[in-house]
Each structure stands twice: as C-alpha cells, then as structure tokens.
Structure 1
Amino acid sequence: MNLRNRLQYMKRLCTAHFVTNAVLSVLFLVLRTIRPFCTIVFPRAEPECNLEWRESNILMFLICVVVIKNRKFPDVMQFVKILFSLSKVANFLLFFYSDLRLAIVYSVLCLLVVLIFPEPAFKGPENITYFKGEQFFEELENNPRTTWMLECYAAWSPTCQRFASVFADLSLNYSHNHFKFGKLDVGTNDKLAKRLGINTSGTSLELPTLILFQNGKPVIRRPVKNNKGKVMPFQFTMGNMIRDFDMNVIYEETKSKAQKKQEKKAEALGNNENAEEEKKDK
C-alpha cells in the first residue's frame, strides 16, 4: 500500500462513523474492567473489576472468528468493517448475559450511531468513466479492442457504497489506455439491468456486478449463478478481485499490446518522414 492510500485510509478512519463504531466495539470491555465504570454499571463486580470466565470465552471466540474471516487478507477497510460488526455482536451478547437492560440500551446506541453517523460516501481519487444509458455499449462498438472492467451498481446499495473505494484503488493501480474502468448505474434503469441480466431488487445479491469485457464481449463476471440459477456469494475485496479477474495478467497483456501499437505508429510515422525526405531530395 502506497503512502497516498495510507493517508486516504487514515482520513476515512478518523470520521465520526468509524470513531463511534470503534467506541461501541470496546464499550463492554471498558465499562467492565476500568474503574469507576465497572462499579457503577456492574455493581456486583465488586471488589474486582475483571472479566468472568464466560466473558473471556466470548472475547476469545470473537478473536478466532476475526482471524478465520480475514484469512484471505482483505483490504484494510474491509477488515475494519468486519471487526466492528463482529465486535458489536460480541458486545451485545456480553451485555445480554450481564443484564438484559444493558443489552437493550446498547442496541439503541448502535441504532442511533447508524442513523446519525452513516458510513461516509467515498470521495477519493479514481480513474473511472461513468456511463449513462447506452453509452457503454456504444463505446464497446466504437473501440472493441479496449478491455473494460465495468461495475454495474445502484447508488442506494450499501454493498456498492462499500466497494467504491476498492474499485477506485483498482482503477488507479491498473488502468491505462487499453485497460479502462467504468461504472454503470443499473439501479434506476430496469432496461439496462435486464440487458445485463442483473436483479436490482432490494434483496438482490447481484449488486454490485463486475463484468470484464474483452474484444467487446463479456468474459468474466462476478458474482456468478450456479446451475440452479442461485447467485453464489462473492466478497468484493481487493485480493479477490485481483485473483478472480487475473488483474495482473490482463494488465501486462494489455500494456504489451499498447506498447506494440505505439511502436507500429512510431514506425509508420518514421517511414512517412523518410518518404517525404526522399521526395524532397528528388
């Protein structure tokens, strides 16, 4: 990860959404083990403010789940989101076992944080072309030799919003004149969604849908459907995208084609200049 991406991640992590979620993730541990909170919230914890055996087991189980969930090394933001989600579930269980009233208060706090401090929309640098209507298909017809990575998204979809930073990073790291990244909003265009075979309902598992186009035709798509038409879940992480779409291979292949094309242009230009010089000499 380069310095620019690190600064971008740090800036996002310092927003109210992530700060409040971090507080909620460690709230039980703080209230249960630090004085005077432990004696006020958990008066039966006197004289020692320590975790009980069951509470320690729940936290150990949380650590194991986080390790298993992140064994494929997702990107930083994905890791943070998974950690926060699992931590809040563990906190709820810990409060529930201690006092049902505390669990209810904690649930209300989590709901208020979601409503008051939603995850901020991605506004970082990117190298993406945004298409409307039939523009993308016209682009394919006019420039079929260009390889396109197309994200079909819906502005209202939380999954699409979370994936925005990952797709932006991919566009910055891999795009060039012969390998481009585009986004097409299918959430408000049923005609386009049907043409691309994407379900855009509120419960759809096909948002976003990533399609790789080569020579004007789709060659790789995620997520995919099995033989029964069921959508197979796909984790939209940086590592999964690079692996499933062979991003490094495609980048090198398209870069090589671009260089050969430039060399041919340079050679043709050189031949024209030589021909003009010969005419002048005559």
Structure 2
Amino acid sequence: MSLAKRLLHPHYVANVVLAAAYPAYQIIFHPECLSSSNIAANSRYILPGMVLLSIKIRGSQSAEELVSVVALYIKVYSLYGFWAIAQERAALLGMSWSGWWRVLLFLFAWLAVFIAFPQPPYQGPSKIIWLDAAQLEYLTTPGQSGSKGKERAVGDSGLRNRSSSAKIVELDENEEPLEDGEVDRGKTYTQDQGRKEKAVSELDPNHYWIIAFNATWSSPCRLFEAVLARCSIKYEKKNVHFAKIDMDLVPEGDQIANRFKISLAATTLDLPTLILFKNGRPLKQLPLKVGTKVGGEVLGKVGWDRSESSVAHAFELDKLGSGKESFAV
C-alpha cells in the first residue's frame, strides 16, 4: 500500500482534523491572534513547544509516526488553548454558551476518535514472518532443529488449521494484488495487509532469527513496525530472517512474556523487545539488559530510540550471517 493511501487512513485524518480545531477556532473568531505583536507576546510559550516538537520530529522513524507525533502535540496544545479561554463565553446558534463547553466538547471528540479510529497496523511492504506460540518455541529452544522438534512444532502449530478466508495474495511492484494467474517471483507473499507466514517445515533454527515481541495495544510497537519492516527488506539474507509475535493475540502470551522477562504492564518500557536467536539460543537483545544478579535474574533494562540505526548496530546487520559478526554462537 502506498504512503499516500496509508496516511489517508481515518485514524490519521481524524487526528489531524482534531489537532487543527483550536488553531482554526482562533483564526476564525480571533484573527488578531496572527498579528506579530500577539505572537511576540506569547513567544515564551511557543518557542519551547516548537523546540520540543522539532526534537520529536527528528526522532520519528516513519511518516506515520511523524503524523502521529505532530498531531498529538498540537492536540495537547489545543486542549490547553481551549482551557485558557474557558472564561470567554461562546456564541452558538444565537445563544451564549459557557466557554467550558469547548473544553468538554474537545475532550469528547478526542475520546471518540481514540475509540472509533485506533491506530492501524503498518501496511507497507515487509518481509516480516508472523509466528505462533509453537513456532516461537521451536525457534527459541536449543536442540529443536531435529525431526522430533519439528514434528512437535507442526503438531502444535495452528497454521495447518487456519481459516481459508485468510487468503494469501501476491503483490506486484506497486504493492497491489496480482490478477489470478499472474506471477511475480520477485515479490513477497503477504497476508492480511502485509502479513507473511511460513510453515514450520520452512523455519530453520540454524539460521539467524531477529524476533520482535509485540503487543497490539502498545503504541511504541505500532510505530516500530515500519522500522522493522524496512530492516526486514534491507537486511534479509538466506540465513537471516525477521519475525514477530503479538503476545496479546496468542493464548500463551503471558507465559511467553514471563519466559523472556518482558513486562506487559500499561507503563512498560519493554515493548517492543527484539531478540536475536540462532540454534534456539538468544545472542543479543533490545532493549539492553543493564545488569543481573545471582541466579541470572534481570535487574532491569535501559531504553532505546527504536531507530533503524539502533537495530542495525545492536545486531550487526551489515555483517550478520556472513561469519564476520563479533558474537559467538
């Protein structure tokens, strides 16, 4: 799906419109706010906000994240603006209304947009492989590469019993579905707007696997999908693969989180977590562990910027799979 189509999703359109509410209100009812004297008088508020916004913009890793960040900051500014003029009565339909109705109406609209138009998953090109719990265990447990481990994973995997309505389609060079009978051998098979799955027989634990542990309710996970998708296209090799599992969508999600010591609390800084595996053994992880104590229990993790450069540096993606990587297997 093209960038323009992705940004025209109702989630982004509704949030941009909502963000523009207060600036539009001021321009329509108080055009004097655009005067140079008024802007200069409020510069002590405007300049710090612009600096903070520019920092967040520079840190955005995709167009979707950029739109989300800008809209969020302007919505916060708009809420403050409506609160600041709450003492001014509003004229509507020939009647005078309390200025606090503007604040309440804006909050109600914000809540309605949040509920009705949740942030969509990344819908651009990707070579990320979606895993179920059995496949994850097969790839992350040492000694599973033999026939018994594969048979067990095949038996437990739900891929064999998935509904036929989840049709796998192949995309052309413009990321549009091919007509029946057309073949494009150079493109990735995708499912459910970019979803790619493989049978257990195609999963080789002897290869390098960079697996993202996500939760669909986590905004950082949603925003990171575009970064991981770019990495999966740029750095995928014959023996290097990118995969993900949404822990809130599988019954074993809590056990998976406990096994890899990933917090699923609403305030967690662990999501998304990326771990590099080979032969079922973890080699590198983001966010980085900051220490351990007796027994190997993790004391904590240090945050990271979730940028493509961070992923490439941590997992040595330029060298990964070439035999020149610095970590031992």
Q: Is 1:241 equivalent to 2:235 in the alignment?
A: no
Identical pairs, percent:
25
Paired position in structure 2 for 1:81: 68
**Contact in 2 for aligned 1:211/1:220 (Cα 8 Å):** yes
Cα–Cα, structure 1 residues 214 and 122, in superposed 2: closer, same or farther, change >3 Å? same
1:57 and 1:28 mapped to 2: Cα distance? Answer: 19
Paired position in structure 2 for 1:124: 124
Structure with higher helix content? 1
Structure with higher strand content? 2
Aligned residues: 239
Cα–Cα, structure 1 residues 98 and 239, in superposed 2: closer, same or farther, change >3 Å? farther
CA RMSD of aligned residues (A): 2.9
Picking from 208, 217, 232, the partner of 1:171 is 232
For residue 110 of structure 1, report the CA deviation from its aligned partner. 1.3
Q: Is 1:184 equivalent to 2:245 in the alignment?
A: yes
Cα–Cα, structure 1 residues 74 and 129, in superposed 2: closer, same or farther, change >3 Å? closer
Picking from 249, 252, 276, the partner of 1:212 is 276
Aligned pairs for 1:70-149 (under 5 A) are 70-72=57-59, 74-99=61-86, 101=100, 102-139=102-139, 141-142=144-145, 143-149=204-210
Larger deviation, residues 89-98 vs 160-169: 160-169
Picking from 13, 19, 22, the partner of 1:25 is 19
Cα–Cα, structure 1 residues 133 and 115, in superposed 2: closer, same or farther, change >3 Å? closer
Cα–Cα, structure 1 residues 196 and 77, in superposed 2: closer, same or farther, change >3 Å? same
For residue 56 of structure 1, report the CA deviation from its aligned partner. 4.8
Q: Is 1:160 equivalent to 2:154 in the alignment?
A: no
2:26 and 2:135 mapped to 1: Cα distance? Answer: 58
**Contact in 2 for aligned 1:122/1:164 (Cα 8 Å):** yes
Cα–Cα, structure 1 residues 235 and 104, in superposed 2: closer, same or farther, change >3 Å? farther
Cα–Cα, structure 1 residues 169 and 250, in superposed 2: closer, same or farther, change >3 Å? same
Compute the TM-score of the two structures, normalised by the length of structure 1. Answer: 0.72
| Structure 1 residues 89-136: Cα deviation after superposition (integer angstroms, max 9, x where no partner) | 111122222226233322222111112222223333322222222323
What is the SS of the residue equivalent to 1:249? coil
**Contact in 2 for aligned 1:75/1:239 (Cα 8 Å):** no
2:317 and 2:256 mapped to 1: Cα distance? Answer: 26
For residue 180 of structure 1, report the CA deviation from its aligned partner. 0.3
Q: Is 1:50 equivalent to 2:34 in the alignment?
A: yes
What is the SS of the residue equivalent to 1:160? helix
Paired position in structure 2 for 1:274: none
**Contact in 2 for aligned 1:148/1:182 (Cα 8 Å):** yes
Cα–Cα, structure 1 residues 243 and 58, in superposed 2: closer, same or farther, change >3 Å? farther
2:291 and 2:210 mapped to 1: Cα distance? Answer: 25
5+ residue gaps, structure 2, are: 87-98, 146-203, 293-298
Aligned pairs for 1:62-77 (under 5 A) are 62-72=49-59, 74-77=61-64
For residue 145 of structure 1, report the CA deviation from its aligned partner. 3.5
**Contact in 1 for aligned 2:212/2:245 (Cα 8 Å):** yes
Paired position in structure 2 for 1:193: 257
| Structure 1 residues 241-280: Cα deviation after superposition (integer angstroms, max 9, x where no partner) | 33433323326x36x99xxxxxxxxxxxxxxxxxxxxxxx
2:62 and 2:217 mapped to 1: Cα distance? Answer: 23
**Contact in 2 for aligned 1:146/1:179 (Cα 8 Å):** yes
Letter in 2 for 1:83: V
Which structure would you say has the larger Rg? 1
5+ residue gaps, structure 1, are: 1-6, 39-44, 258-282
1:157 and 1:74 mapped to 2: Cα distance? Answer: 16
**Contact in 1 for aligned 2:19/2:78 (Cα 8 Å):** yes
Paired position in structure 2 for 1:16: 10
Paired position in structure 2 for 1:59: 46
For residue 24 of structure 1, report the CA deviation from its aligned partner. 2.1
Picking from 269, 285, 290, the partner of 1:221 is 285
